[in-house]
Amino acid sequence: MSDKQTIRVIFVEDEPDVRMGSQQALELAGFEVDAFASVEEARPHVRSGVPAVVLCDVKLPGMDGTQWLDEIRAIDADLPVILVSGHADIAMAVQAMRQGAYDFIEKPFPSERLVVVVRRAAEKRCLTLQVQVLRERLENSRGIEAAILGQSAQMAHVRETVLTLAGTSADVVIYGETGTGKDLIARCLHDHSGRRRANYVPLNCGGLSESLAESELFGHEVGSFTGATQVRIGKFEYAQGGTLFLDEIESMPMAVQVKFLRALQERSIERIGSNKAIPVDCRVIAASKDDLKVLSDQQKFRSDLYYRIGVAFVKLPPLRERREDIPLLFEHFTLLAATRYERMAPVLDGAQLAELMAHAWPGNVRELRNVADRFVLGLLGDRLTATTDGQEMLSGLPQQVEHFERAMIAEELRRNHGDVTLTAKALGLPKPTLYDKLRRLRILVEGFRQEG
């Protein structure tokens, strides 16, 4: 996840002894403390996005703590404010919490209580700032890198292929296992083409009967069959000027493949129940989890259709073959889930990252996104991933170490925008050693520099 920031404590207390004792307790607990005797002195240190929490006494000379709370809330509503009150001021403190204070501590208080409350507020502030950084990074991403995520050599090749093909009129076949993002690649081919202002029309061929598939593709006229009470525009015709995306094309019924081939060759269709040819100008992108050439050799897919549509290909690697992309993808999906569910984005620890890296991901990126959703919702137990019998795992310690090492190096390169010197320092490695690892693990530094 994103870099953890040092959260300072802005502490306002007018009693010198209390201020000194509390400051010492917090500093012994590892906090950096800026202590002040009044709100007026502390006010310049509070600004939107400051990596800090505010600890403030209620009764103060000049502006009091509750008045300052309203001012802080106007500057940064997410900045945690902890109020310190005497027993007689508890009612006032409770009212302040209703106004948005994070917590309050009653005097006199043990130092342990102070540290616990401040630490909890600091953790919340750290998470809030991390979500803001991730959101800004997401919003500032541009171009194909924002859509097709990943710094692995495989995904860099995919992006290059997509950009090369997007500007052409060639029909494309996308190969990839379930969950690798074939629909995403098809959309990118459309969005980066000259057809992007026209319709992008997806159709999943899986499970469609012959009659339904034919109606979906070509449409029908009134009365063409029982129940055809109105004209239906087919997907082919609706994609006029745009892109027709056929997912799971290997499942298309053989009889429909014949008519589909004719439509591709003539670039025209006839609705069911009509003899009128309708010209169509659309690009066809097909996706399959199986090799269509192999299927055609086995007579399970028409070979003439394969050779007609098999002009250009995009091969999507499974997630297990690009594990160095897992941290970035998981961070991205965690941010999306946190925004969608209005939750804080939790932070992975080292053990959890190692678990993600060791998992086989049979459901690929789709499975990773589901795990990120459950992670944000707090629905996971001690393990992020559940292992099932027969599921492939990394076979041995050397393989696990290699994948984890690749992920850690890639993550630090991303944080440092491809700066090898800063990355080596962060990892505690000499630069020559890091360069050796980059060559051995086939990690391309250039892609990280482009992101920065």
311 and 332 together in one domain: no
**Is it the case that residue 289 has pLDDT exceeding 90?**
yes
**Mean pLDDT for the stretch of residues 122-133:** 81
The H or E element containing residue 131 is helix 111-140
More confident residue, 405 or 432: 432
Q: If we measure between CA atoms, which residue out of 193, 189, 221, 220 comes closest to residue 202?
A: 189
Global confidence as pTM:
0.61
Structure tokens at 182: 């074939």
- Beta strands 200-204; 172-175: pairing state: unpaired
The per-residue pLDDT for 277 is 92
The per-residue pLDDT for 343 is 82
Per-residue pLDDT of 163-201, as tens digits, reads 999 989 899 999 999 999 999 999 999 999 999 999 999
The per-residue pLDDT for 202 is 96
Band of pLDDT at residue 418, cut at 50, 70 and 90:
confident
241 and 350 together in one domain: no
380 and 279 together in one domain: no
- Look at residue 277 and tell me if it is in a domain: yes
The per-residue pLDDT for 183 is 96
304 and 425 together in one domain: no
**Is it the case that residue 387 has pLDDT exceeding 50?**
no
Average pLDDT, the chain: 86
Band of pLDDT at residue 389, cut at 50, 70 and 90:
very low
163 and 275 together in one domain: yes
**Domain boundary at 75, 108, 140, which?**
140
DSSP string over 348-411: --HHHHHHHHH---TTHHHHHHHHHHHHHHT---S-SS---TT-----SHHHHHHHHHHHHHHH
437 and 300 together in one domain: no
301 and 155 together in one domain: yes
Band of pLDDT at residue 142, cut at 50, 70 and 90:
low
- Look at residue 406 and tell me if it is in a domain: yes
Vertex 313 angle, CA 414 and 279, to 5°: 125
The per-residue pLDDT for 95 is 79
More confident residue, 404 or 213: 213
**Is it the case that residue 398 has pLDDT exceeding 70?**
no
76 and 178 together in one domain: no
**Is it the case that residue 122 has pLDDT exceeding 60?**
yes
170 and 297 together in one domain: yes
C-beta separation of 425 from 413 below 8 A = no
The per-residue pLDDT for 365 is 95
* Helices of type H across 47-102: 65-75, 90-98
Domain containing residue 414: CATH number: 1.10.8.60
Dihedral sign for Cα atoms in the order 409, 380, 367, 3: negative
- Look at residue 405 and tell me if it is in a domain: yes
Q: What is the DSSP letter of 107?
A: S
239 and 350 together in one domain: no
- Look at residue 2 and tell me if it is in a domain: no
The per-residue pLDDT for 452 is 46
Q: What percent of the chain has pLDDT over 90?
A: 52
More confident residue, 385 or 21: 21
Structure tokens at 54: 């505010």
- Look at residue 326 and tell me if it is in a domain: yes
Q: Which domain holds residue 121?
A: 8-140
Per-residue pLDDT of 40-49, as tens digits, reads 999 999 999 8
311 and 327 together in one domain: no
Domain containing residue 292: CATH number: 3.40.50.300
**Domain boundary at 317, 333, 359, which?**
317
Least reliable range by pLDDT among 205-209, 261-265, 350-354: 350-354
**Is it the case that residue 59 has pLDDT exceeding 90?**
no
**Mean pLDDT for the stretch of residues 70-86:** 91
The per-residue pLDDT for 344 is 79
**Domain boundary at 124, 140, 156, which?**
140
Q: What percent of the chain has pLDDT over 70?
A: 90
CA 373 – CA 376 distance, rounded (Å):
5
The per-residue pLDDT for 136 is 65
- Beta strands 219-220; 232-233: pairing state: antiparallel
Structural domain count of the chain: 3
Which residue type is seen at 141?
S
Structure tokens at 104: 């309050």
C-beta separation of 240 from 282 below 8 A = yes
